[in-house]
Amino acid sequence: MASSAKRSKKLRILLVPFFATSHIRPFTDFAFHLAAARPGDVEATVAVTLANAPVVQAALSSREPCGGHGGDARVEVATYAFPDVDGLPPGVENMSTVKAEDAWRIAAAAFNEAVMRPAQESLIKASSPDAIVTDLHFIWNAGIAAELGVPCVAFNVGGIFPTLALWRLPAVDIKDAAGGSVTVPQFPGPDISLPVTELPEFLRNQELVFEFDRGTENRFMVELKRCLGVAANTFIGLEREYCENYIDSGFVRRAYFVGPLSLPPAAAATAAVTGVEKSSSACLDWLDTMPAHSVVYLCFGSLTNMSEAQLDELAVGLESSGVPFLWVVRVPTWEPPAGWKERVGSRGMLVTGWAPQTDILQHPAVGAFVTHCGWNSVLETVAAGVPVLTWPMVFEQFIIERFVTQVASIGERLWPEGAGRRSTRHEEHDLIPAAAIARAVAKFMEHGGAADAARRRVAELSAKARAAMAEGGTSHRDLHQLIDDIVEARASGGETTAT
């Protein structure tokens, strides 16, 4: 009888991420942290379509080396059906694995409530969770939660800086942009300006902007305010001004800053450093042969696609730079220029497909990270204390670049301002020439140069990141406050007194 009562008091949380590895992995990390925070009291389940279940399982398996320090934390996987989409073969259900020309098909289905909601709603009702954590892309789940009388928390896998920028920028009429650039209005910190070409597509297309933040709240903002609050994969020490502005903005009822979630839970942090064997792979073995801070690591995330012509220029640029490099390429059909591998020799390593990025960034041989400025990569490089050269390509990556270079000051643009045209539309983006790449990499890695200065700054942020996740840190406190607020809201039928 006692065990039955104990089971009934468990907090069962269902997490529903968007169909991209860059969302599924932090959602899985979040689920793990929720369960590890109150082992035995919190049960977390990640809900994905069948073809995305291996992504969750891979993320969980990466926790296993320190998983023994997570106590009784358990994360389950639940699946629901992906809709039939014209032009997509069966089993293609992830923005990170679909062919570039077909990515819009997944996005069109995912953002269509009439298409996506029925399967998600069916799973939610069958699971009967005590709380729902939904991706911002699936904000209709706040309505489902309200119907069921359970709390809903929106989870933002991106940073607060880019989120605020994306919520402020619709107030700007880009047709009147002076000199083809816009400045983010009502923004703390330094003025942040971007060419119109570097804005996400929904801001460049005025038909898509329509009513967003132009005096009337759209459906998204209404549903967002129905949520208990928004949890974000960031930490106060990284974005303090922007977190405070976010809280005061009136956009959300409450905010919880719970990252970097790629780091281990507080109880595991010490053991993860002192008592766990590092993982092994060919690229880590190669890094073991290189001097400290000598290697440039290059990876452009799971959602970006680089043309073969640009890959050729990058290959030649790395060869000409004279700097050791570890380069992850996600285009399996691409081959480097003839004789390139022989000329580069053991100075460089090319990895096709996947590489253990977190372990790579933490390796002492890595001296810089050439990144697309995806938020997950920014958090991982901050946690590891590695400076960056920025190469944004799509979505909000150009906005995040401004945070990295102008606010956090942990790196530089790879291609200097004015050198050529950059754009979120690949057909508008100029080819970055090999000579520019070689020059930027070599200069950044010079002894006593920009990388050394940026490394000192990012080392300070790395210490703050780990302190935030440690027992009593800001992110640790927010995580536990979130669980307490969910428990309170569950007891009151989905409502809470928290403001």
pLDDT of residue 175: 77
The reply to whether 367 and 424 lie within a common domain is: yes
For residue 229, which of 209, 211, 214, 249 has the smallest C-alpha distance? 249
Residue 308: φ, ψ to 5°: -65, -35
DSSP state of 212: B
2 part of a folded domain: no
Q: What's the CA angle centered on 59, arms 308 and 394, to 5 degrees?
A: 35
Contact call for residues 51 and 20 (beta carbons, < 8 A): no
Is the residue at 384 inside a domain?
A: yes
Total structural domains in the chain? 2
CB contact set of 31 (below 8 Å; sequence gap of 6+): 13, 15, 44, 45, 46, 75, 133
For residues 328 and 331, what is the distance between their CA atoms, to the nearest angstrom?
Answer: 9
DSSP string, 246-306: HHHTSS-S-EEE---TTSPPHHHHHHHHHS-PPP--HHHHHHTTS-TT-EEEEE--SS---
For residues 286 and 361, membership in a common domain is answered with yes
Question: How many angstroms separate the first and last alpha carbons of the chain?
Answer: 37
Residue 15 falls inside a structural domain = yes
Examine residue 4 and state whether it is found in any structural domain, yes or no: no
**Are residues 477 and 333 part of one domain?**
no
293 found inside a domain: yes
Question: Is 5 contained in some domain?
Answer: no
**Residue 216 carries which DSSP code?**
B
Domain of 80, CATH number, reads: 3.40.50.2000
Crossing angle of helices 141-148 and 219-226, rounded to 10°:
40
Determine, yes or no, domain membership for 430.
yes
Are 91 and 212 in a shared domain? yes
In angstroms, the CA 398 to CA 6 distance is: 49
Same structural domain, 259 and 338? no
Nearest CA to 59 among 81, 37, 80, 44?
A: 44
pLDDT of residue 271: 41
User: 236-248 and 474-491 are packed helices; what angle lies between their axes, rounded to 10 degrees?
Assistant: 40
In a shared domain, residues 403 and 487: no
335 and 410 in a single domain? The answer is yes
pLDDT of 64: 60
In a domain, 190, yes or no: yes
Report whether 162 contacts 139 (CB < 8 A): no
- Please give the sequence-ordered ranges of beta strands (E in DSSP) within 92-203, or none if there are none: 131-135, 152-156, 181-183, 193-195
- 26 and 100 assigned to the same domain: yes
Residues 257 and 335 in one domain: no
Query: What does each of the 499 residues of the chain score in pLDDT, given as a tens digit?
Result: 333 333 357 999 999 999 999 999 999 999 999 999 999 899 999 999 999 999 999 999 887 644 444 456 789 999 999 999 999 999 999 988 888 888 889 989 999 999 999 999 999 999 999 999 999 999 999 999 999 999 999 999 999 999 999 999 988 887 777 668 999 999 998 999 999 999 998 888 765 544 444 433 578 888 999 999 999 999 999 999 999 999 998 889 999 999 999 998 875 554 444 333 455 689 999 999 999 999 999 999 877 778 999 999 999 999 999 999 999 998 888 999 999 999 999 999 999 988 899 999 999 999 999 999 999 999 999 999 999 999 999 989 999 999 999 999 999 999 988 888 999 988 889 999 999 999 999 999 998 889 999 999 999 999 999 999 999 999 999 999 999 999 999 888 766 544 4
Check: CB of residue 131 under 8 Å from CB of residue 105: no
* CA distance linking residue 350 with residue 344, whole number of Å: 10
Are 298 and 278 a contacting pair, CB within 8 Å? no
* pLDDT score recorded for residue 72: 64
Asked whether the CA dihedral 483, 218, 161, 45 is positive or negative, the reply is positive
Statement to judge: residues 19 and 136 lie in one domain? yes
In this structure, the answer to whether residues 20 and 141 fall within a common structural domain is yes
- Domain that includes residue 98, residue range: 11-269+471-496
Nearest-angstrom CA–CA distance, 155 and 233:
8
Helix (H, G, I), strand (E, B) or coil at 81: coil
* Contact status, residue 228 vs residue 491, Cβ threshold 8 Å: no
For residue 445, the Cα-to-chain-centroid distance in whole angstroms is: 26
Could you tell me if 351 and 489 lie in one domain? no
* DSSP bridge pairs for 79: 48
Q: Which two tokens stand for residue 429?
A: 């983006």
